[in-house]
Amino acid sequence: MRTAYKSGRRGGHAGGHLREPFVEWAETGEFPAEVTHNGRPLDIESLTGLLWCCSDVMPSGTCAALDMPAGSTYAQGARKVRGQLSR
């Protein structure tokens, strides 16, 4: 599923409606029900695509849950998760 999110290729800010479900999934292992963007439902693969260039820093608990250094960005987290999903 593709959705329209234009943060720019050099990074940018993704809204909380995208960051919060990623945090919940990373910290609990459960993807929240009814996550949508532009009226379309999202799964974890679509969500990581929307966060691909997000330069916002993840919370320290999320970094720890993903076994990443504190101060990692959502883009870094999304890329790590996407790599694990494709295995």
Distance CA 13, CA 81 (A): 19
CB neighbour class for 54 (10 Å; exposed up to 12, middle 13-18, buried from 19): buried
Per-residue pLDDT of the chain (87 residues; tens, 9 = 90+): 444 445 445 668 899 999 999 999 999 988 887 888 888 899 889 999 999 999 999 999 999 999 999 999 999 999 999 888 866
Taking the whole predicted model, whether its pTM rises above 0.75 is answered as yes
